[in-house]
Amino acid sequence: MTGREGLIGLSFGHRTVRDAEHWLREVVRPLELPGLVACTHLVRVPYPHVAISLAANAEPPAHLTSVPPDLRDAAGHAAAEHATRRSGRAVFYPGVERLTGTLTVAEVTALSAVDRVTGLGGPPPEPGTELETRDFVRPLWQDGLLTLVTVPVAGGRVAPFEVPDPTPCCADTGHATGWPPAKPVARRSRGLGAG
């Protein structure tokens, strides 16, 4: 779905942000579109999924603009949100490849398209504050600005609020810790009321 020149919304029914990011890495990034800002958007129509918006200093190839009819409203929503810079989670944007290791807040905004850095539930970090990028920096469109939300970490530093490999809500994480055990644990019954 085409928005203004160089801005399109796409929706292919990706169920997770990870799936949408994988598609962006495999299909869009190799195109090397100049000035690319690629965002993910959580949408509800026609069912909950992740839509995508792309803005670049060039028209994207025509093969990217073919959206299934039932997902065109979702694609249009993603394009509109990106165009007005109201929402969207930026995966690729100018300078993202430079945001590795530990940088100062001032370096993050100087080296990339990130406009501002804020603190979750507190004041924004000072320009000289060290920011541990975790090599995973996903700013959000907020109030027309590409905004990186951070949280405090050890040593007076900050890090992006979003972590690279989050544990999904209600995930079955027992296998990594050895719990639950592979075999059922035999439990003895104490028999309530038995003397």
**Per-residue pLDDT reduced to its tens digit, 4-19:** 458 999 999 999 999 9
Instruction: Evaluate whether residue 25 is within a structural domain.
Output: yes
Q: Are residues 64 and 138 located together in one domain of the fold?
A: no
Query: Rounded to 5 degrees, what are φ and ψ at 70?
Result: -75, -10
| Mean pLDDT to the nearest integer, 155-170 | 84
Instruction: Evaluate whether residue 171 is within a structural domain.
Output: no
**Residues constituting the chain:** 195
Q: Are residues 86 and 121 located together in one domain of the fold?
A: no
Domain boundary among 63, 92, 121: 92
169: pLDDT confidence band, cut at 50, 70 and 90? low
Q: Are residues 106 and 153 located together in one domain of the fold?
A: yes
Q: Is pLDDT of 167 > 90? A: no
**Dihedral sign computed on CA atoms, order 75, 81, 82, 83:** positive
Domain boundary among 92, 110, 145: 92
> Distance between CA atoms of 90 and 67, rounded to whole angstroms?
21
Mean pLDDT across the chain: 87
Instruction: Evaluate whether residue 100 is within a structural domain.
Output: yes
Q: Is pLDDT of 195 > 60? A: no
Q: Are residues 79 and 151 located together in one domain of the fold?
A: no
pLDDT of residue 63: 82
pLDDT of residue 6: 83
Q: Are residues 119 and 83 located together in one domain of the fold?
A: no
Instruction: Evaluate whether residue 32 is within a structural domain.
Output: yes
> Distance between CA atoms of 89 and 156, rounded to whole angstroms?
26
pLDDT of residue 165: 75
Q: Are residues 105 and 142 located together in one domain of the fold?
A: yes
Domain that holds residue 16: 7-92
Q: Are residues 22 and 87 located together in one domain of the fold?
A: yes
| Mean pLDDT to the nearest integer, 120-135 | 96
Instruction: Evaluate whether residue 15 is within a structural domain.
Output: yes
| Mean pLDDT to the nearest integer, 47-61 | 94
Instruction: Evaluate whether residue 195 is within a structural domain.
Output: no
> Distance between CA atoms of 107 and 85, rounded to whole angstroms?
23
Residues of the chain with pLDDT > 70: what percent? 82
Contact 78, 47 (CB under 8 A): no
85: pLDDT confidence band, cut at 50, 70 and 90? very high
Q: What does pTM read for this prediction?
A: 0.81
Instruction: Evaluate whether residue 175 is within a structural domain.
Output: no
Nearest to 10 by CA among 40, 46, 34: 40
pLDDT of residue 121: 87
In the chain, the number of structural domains is 2
Q: Are residues 84 and 113 located together in one domain of the fold?
A: no
Instruction: Evaluate whether residue 132 is within a structural domain.
Output: yes
Q: Are residues 30 and 86 located together in one domain of the fold?
A: yes
Q: Is pLDDT of 187 > 50? A: no
